[in-house]
Structure 1
Amino acid sequence: PRPRNAWILYRSWYYENHKEEFKGPGNKMGHLSKLAAREWNSLPQEDRLYWDLRGVAEGLAHIQKYPDYKYRP
C-alpha cells in the first residue's frame, strides 16, 4: 500500500467527523469529497502545515515498514 498524503489524511479525518451528516439516501461520497476539498483549499497555512507534517510522518513510517517498496502504477 502507498502512504497517504496530506490531502488523503485530511479527507479521512473530514469523513470521520462529518459522516453522520451524510447518512441516508441521496448522500454521495463524491459530495462529501467536494465539501472536504472546498475546506481543504481554504485552510490557513498553519493548519495545512499540520496535515503536511502528518503526511511526511506517515511516509517515513512507511519507508521503515516497507524499505523495498517501489510505487508501480
Structure 2
Amino acid sequence: ELINPLNSRSKRPPRPPNGFLLCRKNVHKEARLKGFCNMRVISKVTGMLWRSATQEEKESYEKLSVQVNQLHSQRYPGYKYRPTIRPRLQAIRPYVAPPINPEVLTALPTQIINNNQQPVAYPMYYPDVVEFQFPQFTQEELALLSCYLF
C-alpha cells in the first residue's frame, strides 16, 4: 500500500517514496475518509504541515521511508532511478521585420515626399518585404503558442 504499483503505460517501476510523500499519502488518506478530495488543497496543507512539523515527526516518516525503500528493493531488484530526459523546446524567437534597404527609401516618388504625404509601401519599392515568408512552426511550438493565443 505504501509503494505505488507498476506504471502500466511506461512499464517502469515507480520511485520509492521519501518521508514527505509518505506524509502526503497519510494526509490524503485521512482527507478522503472525511470526504474531502481536492488534491490541490491537500498538497498545500501537507506542505504547511511538513514545514511546521517537529524534527521527531519528520524523522518518524523518514524512518518509515527507509523501511519502504527496503521493501521497494525487494520488489524491484536492480532498480536504479533513471530520469527521462525530455527534449527542451527551443525558445521561439519574436518576429523581426527584415531590414529595409536605404536605397529603396530614396527611390520613393518625389511628389509624395514634397507634398508631405504618408508614403505608401508599394511592392515595387519593397521587394525584400514581398518575398519574405513567415517562419514555419513545429507542432510543439504551435502547441506552446496556443497557450498564449487562446
* Secondary structure, aligned partner of 2:16: coil
Compute the TM-score of the two structures, normalised by the length of structure 2. 0.43
Aligned sequence identity (%): 35
| Paired residues, number | 69
**1: CA distance between counterparts of 2:65 and 2:45?**
21
Moved over 3 A (4+): none
What's the Cα RMSD here? 1.4
Further displaced range: 57-66 or 31-40: 57-66
**2: CA distance between counterparts of 1:11 and 1:48?**
12
Q: Which amino acid aligns with 2:39?
A: M
Please report how far the alpha carbon of residue 22 of structure 1 lies from its aligned counterpart in structure 2 after TM superposition. 2.0
Please report how far the alpha carbon of residue 67 of structure 1 lies from its aligned counterpart in structure 2 after TM superposition. 1.7
Compute the TM-score of the two structures, normalised by the length of structure 1. 0.82
Partner of 1:45: 55
Partner of 1:29: 39
Distance 1:34 1:12, change over 3 A: same
Q: What runs of 5+ residues in structure 1 fail to find an aligned partner?
A: none
Partner of 1:14: 27
**1: CA distance between counterparts of 2:39 and 2:25?**
12
**2: CA distance between counterparts of 1:58 and 1:22?**
27
